[in-house]
């Protein structure tokens, strides 16, 4: 059986966890957390990195930081994971869903501006499959209307956006803040785990407080205040050193992990290109402004039946291929609250897209052999 995903161990995870245990510091914000924070800040240009227990938590922190109030409107794609939406629904926000682009499942940036009202507070682009949304356009709209941009970069570690200035900027470093995931299905993993990256100085001090249960404990340990106490709302968003130690072992191997995944991705692409053309099956398209971090390899079938037959055929060959997402505006929870606009591309991807197995130790040739 070829699974859809298999978590990859870089090698030193247990060693670093043992070290954390041996030093006697296994709660959060210790040596390994700081190593991870510095790695992210130095490599990707985030002004402040804060590890969280999940991307879901990082998004919830973002919603608290921008003070989302009941009735505020948040613009986001419908074709995404529920956590993008839940973080804001938890604060009483109304979601305004945007359709996907025709050429790839990311948000259609040309459909955003017409949805802005006096109640709009933020835009939440999702870098689907680690492929950048058109961030220059989105930031321009946000500045014009005084909105926050929170990047859902759950899938976007080590991926970049090339803007009109030609410079490459790491995804997650462009919006006011961004959220990454280290769930075991992502490129870099810690079982469950996440990161809030902050790029706007105004949010840094309060982010640390919200992260540490509403206390100024981080400032206390740096010696900036002489006692610590309850100063704001917050929760327990920080992971233990056991998680951070695991993550550090992965980050030390990031280059190797990324290059192996890209190798697999490119092999899929090169060997399926002609097959796709002659069978009218679409392969991933990467816009000029985006790079590829090889998070997902997907196929887009012409008819839903063909997609479902493909999944069944592969299953008969003991290869697990999966589809996602059911459009959030069609979900049981939100369909009554949605404003009724049709979002055809989002629904199209729900019905036509399938993901091929994608993990470090995969022999992609075995999968390709059964497809052709």
User: Is residue 81 at the binding interface for ligand PLP, with CB under 6 A as the rule?
Assistant: yes
Residue 356 token pair: 């091929």
Q: How far is the CB of 126 from ligand PLP (least distance, A)?
A: 5
What are the E-state strand segments in the chain? Answer: 48-52, 73-77, 94-98, 120-123, 148-152, 160-162, 168-170, 177-181, 194-198, 298-300, 353-355
- Candidates 60-68, 76-84, 130-138, 274-282; binding stretch for ligand PLP (CB under 6 A): 76-84
Q: How far is the CB of 284 from ligand PLP (least distance, A)?
A: 16
How many angstroms separate the CA atoms of 27 and 359, rounded?
30
Q: How far is the CB of 82 from ligand PLP (least distance, A)?
A: 8
Q: How far is the CB of 205 from ligand PLP (least distance, A)?
A: 25
- Residue with Cβ nearer ligand PLP (68 or 272): 68
Q: Which residues pair with 74 in a beta bridge?
A: 95, 122
Q: Which residues have CB under 8 Å from 80's CB, separation 6+?
A: 126, 128, 152, 325, 328
Site string for ligand PLP, 322-341 (x = CB under 6 A): --------------------
Q: Give the other-Cβ count within 10 Å of 35's Cβ.
A: 16
Residues between 36 and 75 with contacts to ligand PLP, criterion CB under 6 A:
54-56
**Measuring CA to CA, which residue among 205, 147, 204, 195 is closest to residue 172?**
195
- Residue with Cβ nearer ligand PLP (46 or 216): 46
Determine the size of the site formed for ligand PLP (CB under 6 A). Answer: 14
- Candidates 80-88, 200-208, 232-240, 342-350; binding stretch for ligand PLP (CB under 6 A): 80-88
Q: How far is the CB of 315 from ligand PLP (least distance, A)?
A: 23
Residue of 33, 120, 155, 350 interacting with ligand PLP (CB under 6 A): 155
Residue of 77, 125, 194, 284 interacting with ligand PLP (CB under 6 A): 194
How many angstroms separate the CA atoms of 346 and 39, rounded?
35
How many angstroms separate the CA atoms of 322 and 313, rounded?
12
Q: Taking each helix axis from N to C terminus, what angle separates 31-44 and 13-23, rounded to the nearest 10 degrees? A: 130
Cα 49 off chain centre by: 15
- Residue with Cβ nearer ligand PLP (183 or 261): 183
Residue of 183, 206, 329, 352 interacting with ligand PLP (CB under 6 A): 183
User: Is residue 150 at the binding interface for ligand PLP, with CB under 6 A as the rule?
Assistant: no
Q: How far is the CB of 372 from ligand PLP (least distance, A)?
A: 29
Name the burial class of residue 56, with classes exposed (0-12), middle (13-18) and buried (19+) by CB atoms within 10 angstroms of its CB. Answer: buried
User: Is residue 258 at the binding interface for ligand PLP, with CB under 6 A as the rule?
Assistant: no
DSSP for 41-93, please give it.
HHHH--SEEEEES-HHHHHHHHHHHTT--TT-EEEEESSS-HHHHHHHHTTTP
User: Is residue 152 at the binding interface for ligand PLP, with CB under 6 A as the rule?
Assistant: yes
Residue 49 token pair: 């990195």
Residues between 98 and 127 with contacts to ligand PLP, criterion CB under 6 A:
126
User: Is residue 284 at the binding interface for ligand PLP, with CB under 6 A as the rule?
Assistant: no
> Interface with ligand PLP by CB under 6 A: which residues?
54-56, 80-81, 83-84, 126, 152, 154-155, 181, 183, 194
């Amino acid at each position: 059986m070829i699974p859809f995903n298999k978590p990859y161990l870089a090698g030193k995870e247990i060693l670093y966890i043992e070290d954390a245990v041996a030093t006697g510091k296994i709660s959060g914000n210790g040596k390994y957390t700081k190593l991870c924070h510095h790695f992210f800040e130095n490599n990707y240009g985030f002004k402040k990195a804060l590890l969280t227990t999940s991307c879901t938590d990082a998004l919830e922190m973002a919603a608290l930081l921008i003070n989302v109030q009941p009735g505020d409107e948040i613009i986001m794609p419908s074709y995404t994971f529920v956590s993008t939406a839940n973080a804001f629904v938890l604060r009483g926000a109304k979601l305004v869903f945007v359709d996907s682009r025709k050429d790839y499942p990311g948000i259609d940036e040309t459909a955003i501006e017409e949805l802005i009202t006096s109640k709009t507070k933020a835009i939440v682009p999702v870098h689907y499959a680690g492929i950048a949304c058109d961030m220059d356009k989105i930031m321009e709209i946000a500045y014009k209307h005084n909105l926050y941009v929170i990047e859902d970069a759950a899938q976007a570690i080590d991926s970049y956006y090339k803007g009109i200035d030609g410079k490459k900027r790491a995804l997650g470093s462009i919006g006011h803040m961004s959220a990454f995931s280290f769930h075991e299905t992502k490129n870099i993993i810690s079982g469950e785990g996440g990161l809030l990256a902050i790029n706007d100085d105004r949010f840094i001090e309060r982010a640390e407080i919200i992260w540490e249960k509403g206390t100024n404990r981080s400032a206390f340990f740096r010696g900036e205040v002489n006692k610590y106490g309850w100063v704001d709302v917050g929760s327990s968003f920080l992971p233990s050193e056991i998680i951070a130690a695991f993550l550090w072992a992965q980050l030390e191997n990031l280059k190797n992990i990324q290059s192996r995944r890209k190798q697999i991705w490119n092999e899929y692409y090169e060997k399926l290109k002609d097959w796709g053309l002659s069978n009218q099956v679409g392969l991933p398209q990467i816009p000029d402004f985006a790079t590829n971090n090889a998070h997902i390899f997907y196929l887009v079938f012409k008819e839903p039946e063909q997609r479902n037959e493909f999944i069944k055929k592969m299953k008969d060959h003991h290869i697990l291929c999966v589809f996602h997402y059911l459009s959030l505006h069609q979900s049981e929870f939100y369909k009554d609250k949605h404003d009724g606009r049709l979002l055809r591309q989002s629904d199209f991807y729900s019905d036509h897209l399938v993901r091929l197995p994608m993990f470090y130790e995969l022999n992609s040739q075995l999968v390709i052999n059964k497809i052709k």
